[in-house]
Structure 1
Amino acid sequence: MDKLLSSRFNHESLSGDYIFPPELRPGDLKIPFGSNISVIDLSEAENGDRTNTIQKIIKASEEFGFFQVINHGISENVMNEARSVFKELFEMPAEEKQKLCSDDPSKTCKMFTSSVNYATEKVHLWRDNFRHPCHPLEQWQHLWPENPTRYRECVGSFSVEVKKLASRILSLISEGLGLECGYFENDLTGSVLLTINHYPPCPEPSLALGITKHSDPNLITILLQDHVCGLQVLKDGNWIAVQPIPNAFVINVGYQLQVISNGKLISAEHRAVTNSHDTRTSAAFFVAPTDECVVEPAEALTDEHHPPIFKAFKYKDFNSHYFAKYADTETVLKSFAAQKG
């Protein structure tokens, strides 16, 4: 696919189909880092301060929908190996990447540029993307690329560790919400999708976007940021940059966790901006329910004084609606609001 940004050698000018309308452009790229984005040391929960850690996570999820975790138990070596192979993937020769590209919507493991709607979208995103399921590992690993040769082994090991981390964080969240032990250890976390975003240097970063404003449709997202800045979160109408912290993960609340918590936790809107100097490669693990899983506000969080604000739905139905109304948070949530009687 000659459309892949990572396969082009000339990025000296920005063509019109990458320029967003004025109201959607990032504009001023010198947005300050958000000092109020919590950085939570997960080792404290293992060392006798579990209650304090839970309180920090719940507070960050209520106020921001975003936080970072350090001392999370995944080794620096495993993380560095994954970073290395992700970058190697997009540096492969164009003919190797061509083998991974597909317009077939049913293909689960594929590379594309901008979005899966490239042919019909009005403006293209300044990114290449590679995505595939990675849980259960034995179901998907054989479908992953054979090149880079280290990919299956490195990403397999990494994805298993990330799934364990997601389970730890969700256990702390469920305890903080007052849900029973193991609440999320079922079909609510039966699917994990890895999506790797690759953003080459952009000639006009104030006019383009790597990813437009959106909230994640899944349960929880575990993001391995690059050392290059680019992630921004919307808070009280203002964009705030998320500072890359060495060997930290960014955690953000997805729509399903907002629904299950009956609106107590929020799924924050965020976007990715580009820059003119450095390539940025990030990897997000979307932990999600299985397609047929029914999602609804937890019974323990609803009563006559706190009625459910969302109706029950199958996750696949939510996803269909989400992608039809992508980036329109208010419309998506209204569609699944409980009927007032």
Structure 2
Amino acid sequence: MAKHNFNDLLAFVTVARVGSFTRAAVQLGVTQSAVSQVVSGLEARLKIRLLTRTTRSVSLTAAGERLLEAVGHRFDEIEAEVEALTELRDKPAGTVRITCGDNIIKTTLLPKLTLLLLQYPDIKLEFDINYGFRDIVADRFDAGVRFSDTVAQDMIAVPIGPPIRMAVVAAPSYFAQNPIPEHPRDLAAHRCIDIRFPTYDGVDAWEFERQGKKLKVRVDGQLVFNSTTHIADAATSGLGIAYLPEDEFAVQLADGRLIRVLEEWCEPFSGFHLYYPSRRQPSPAFSLVVDALRIDRLPPRPD
């Protein structure tokens, strides 16, 4: 009996996961037409439709879902075992893919991982800046970074930063024309700079806590962003009140360009965690990354 070439299964799994023949082709390093032909050949051999194709999207049929569930994790296991063979090399190697937000890269990930990259030149890091709750298994990331209370229970979560406090801030010019809020509910009468996370249909409420009392406030304003990158600049320009982890405003608060209010309603909570699937065998490169990021491993101080 002739042995089967599993390239068609790999092509199918890749298309199913990324939802696009074009993106799958880029990931596999071949042409889009080659991927399409290979998957079509698999469907012809199996005599069943695995994917429903339209001009704009690709979706799984019931048979496709069953096949992906049956074989998808097998390729992950093979890839993990191949990566694990780097233990036999003189130095660990491989690519570690992490999905996270912008600021955590600047404040934590790069400071802690710089020395590792210098020590191990065969290790590569790929950061996916995304504010949605990515499915790291389906999207084939090695890990993600979130607050601890948003990490699924079946994941391993490693603390990588200290407790966090949120900060409510605005420019002196804004408060020169508007009253300073004395209670979180007062924010409903202010222009607030908001953020829309991809995971949600709308903007989320601002959450506060004081002496165990929790409160959610829905705010409104002229500006909504889908990342935190420009919020501090918008607040500094006097365009409204902003609400983010306090380290995102550190520079502007220190030089007086922003004023902090409602500080007593911003109690510290558990900070960022690196999370990853519990069932996946970590590669040596990934294990080094996790060890370097642990909360008790601080970045080296400059001389």
Q: Flag whether TM exceeds 0.5 (same fold).
A: no
TM-score, structure 2 as length reference: 0.23
Instruction: Judging by fraction of residues, say which structure has more helix.
Output: 2
- Give me the TM-score of the superposition, normalised by structure 1: 0.21
